[in-house]
Homo-oligomer: A and B are copies of this chain.
């Protein structure tokens, strides 16, 4: 037993490894990686360029190599596989499960893809061709074709025999699916029940009929929701005829959940494409510019708008002092509100509260918050600046901004969701820009009417 020790990937080891690569010291490489988990080797390889990574991989056993290539992120892998001959790609993919094989094939240029598919093991080849028909964001694109099927009328012994035959191809399974003559899903038997049940019993006696399945066209986030809700470690996938065509395991769902969270976070922080800090300067710049431009556009509109009140500003310069206060509060309140809505949209209750109840509640929260804040600001302003009339106007504007920003922050994601956009968009610079403009409008209208 090897207790979990994080493989010590120190700077020293990297440098030593780089030296070995430079000298083409295959012995050092082989020996130093001998007992290392493929997942740790993957992390190590991110430190080197494609040529060096390929040199390392070619030294390792083919199974380890296949495992590592499967683990790479898709962008790195796509760039990396370019330096491989199609025959090499085939030998790697032959060792993978159908779902991983299809994912990798999807990233290859069409010509290479066709070439590789034509030379794959016949069974895998037909499975992969089937999987490539599905969009990658639906159950069909997530599922693997490898699964253990049993017939209703088999005995437990027959079933175990069949598992012995099929198990070679299926790397991990915990459940045997029960189907009829037309391959329609009837139910399932947990592997553990098979182990402990009497060998002469029939599958029909021990299988569970209440089994949750999903259709090939179900979006991946919905599949994730179902697997979480019903606590499933794997879920069978059926086609429109109810025939069993694949299964999705929980580890694929973990990836879906992680990616979704990351995507939401990026949307919230105003980064458009899938970008990471260690991507190129140019890619990082491009990912940030679009949302910054929205902010700039909002800022220019604000400038134009304030221009309309030049006369008042010239008369009472102190009006300008409170622009940042109003703007920041509007932005913060808006983000808070939209973020709560996004959260509740992600885990919907059964009967929706209804738009009006929701808005009324948001309104009460806003009234309370607005009341506290504007009293506070009024007091502080009076003490600090002494201008009672302006302080009053600022506080009234602040109160109104809190209320309006709450409502807009609540409605915007609901509207986006209704029209099929990701509502998380509304938690980012988009809502901030709208609220900045809103805040200014409220503030200057208050000034116009009251000062």
Interface check A303, CB cutoff 8 A: yes
Determine the distance from Cα of A373 to Cα of B298 in the docked complex, in whole angstroms: 13
Contact with B along A320-345 (1 / 0, CB 8 A): 11111111110111011011111110
Interfacial residues of chain A within 136-161, with CB under 8 A of chain B in the complex: 160
The 7 closest A-B pairs by CB, nearest first: A299-B325, A269-B339, A261-B261, A320-B320, A302-B324, A303-B321, A9-B350
CB of B323 within 8 A of CB of A320, answer yes
- Interface flag for A306 (CB, 8 Å): yes
Do residues B281 and A306 form an inter-chain contact, with CB atoms below 8 A? no
Question: In the assembly, what is the distance between CA of A262 and CA of B288, in Å?
Answer: 24
Contacts A250-B251, A258-B257 given; does A172 touch B325 at CB 8 Å: no
The answer to whether B324 and A299 have CB atoms under 8 Å apart is yes
Contact B3 A238 (CB under 8 A): yes
Binary CB contact string for chain A from 1 to 33 against chain B (1 if under 8 A, 0 otherwise): 111100001110010000000000000000000
Answer whether residue A353 sits at the interface, using C-beta atoms and an 8 A cutoff: yes
Complex Cα–Cα for A371 and B427 (A) = 27
| 382-441 of chain A: CB within 8 A of chain B | 384-385, 427, 429, 432-433, 436, 440
Closest-CB distance, A83 to chain B (whole angstroms) = 22
Interface flag for A266 (CB, 8 Å): yes
Whether the pair A172, B233 counts as a contact (CB closer than 8 A) is: yes
A74 at interface, CB cutoff 8 A: no
Query: What's the minimum C-beta distance from A242 to chain B, rounded to whole angstroms?
Result: 6
- Expressed in whole angstroms, the Cα–Cα distance for A238 and B3 within the complex equals 9
Contact B384 A304 (CB under 8 A): yes
**Which chain B positions have C-beta within 8 A of A384?**
300, 303-304
Chain B residues lying within 8 Å of A317, measured Cβ to Cβ, are 310, 313-314, 317
Shortest Cβ distance from residue A111 to the other chain B in the assembled complex, whole angstroms: 31
| A 341-391 contacts with B by CB, 8 A | 341-344, 349-351, 353, 358, 361, 364-365, 368-369, 372-373, 376-377, 380-381, 384-385
Chain A interface residues (CB < 8 Å from chain B): 1-4, 9-11, 14, 35, 37, 39, 43-44, 46-47, 160, 163-164, 167, 170, 172-174, 184-187, 190-192, 194-196, 209-215, 226-231, 233, 238, 242, 249-251, 253-254, 257-258, 261-262, 264-266, 268-271, 275-278, 281-282, 284-285, 288-289, 291-293, 295-296, 298-300, 302-304, 306-307, 310, 313-314, 317-329, 331-333, 335-336, 338-344, 349-351, 353, 358, 361, 364-365, 368-369, 372-373, 376-377, 380-381, 384-385, 427, 429, 432-433, 436, 440
Q: Are B46 and A350 in contact (CB under 8 A)?
A: yes
Q: Is the CB of B270 within 8 A of A335?
A: yes
Most buried by B among A191, A277, A284, A340: A277
Instruction: Check if B258 sits within 8 Å of A254, measured CB to CB.
Output: no
Given contacts A174-B174, A285-B365, A350-B14, contact A37 B212 (CB under 8 A): yes
Query: By the criterion CB–CB under 8 Å, are A278 and B192 in contact?
Result: no
* Complex interface: chain B residues within 8 A of A10 (CB): 351
* Cα–Cα, bound, A39→B232 (Å): 12
The residue of chain B having its C-beta at the shortest distance from the C-beta of A303 within the complex is B321
Q: What's the Cα separation between A285 and B275 when bound, in Å?
A: 35
Q: Can you give 9 contacting A-B residue pairs, CB < 8 Å?
A: A2-B211, A160-B195, A268-B339, A269-B340, A276-B340, A277-B358, A281-B368, A295-B332, A296-B377
Contact A299 B318 (CB under 8 A): no
- Nearest-Cβ distance from residue A21 to partner chain B, whole angstroms: 15
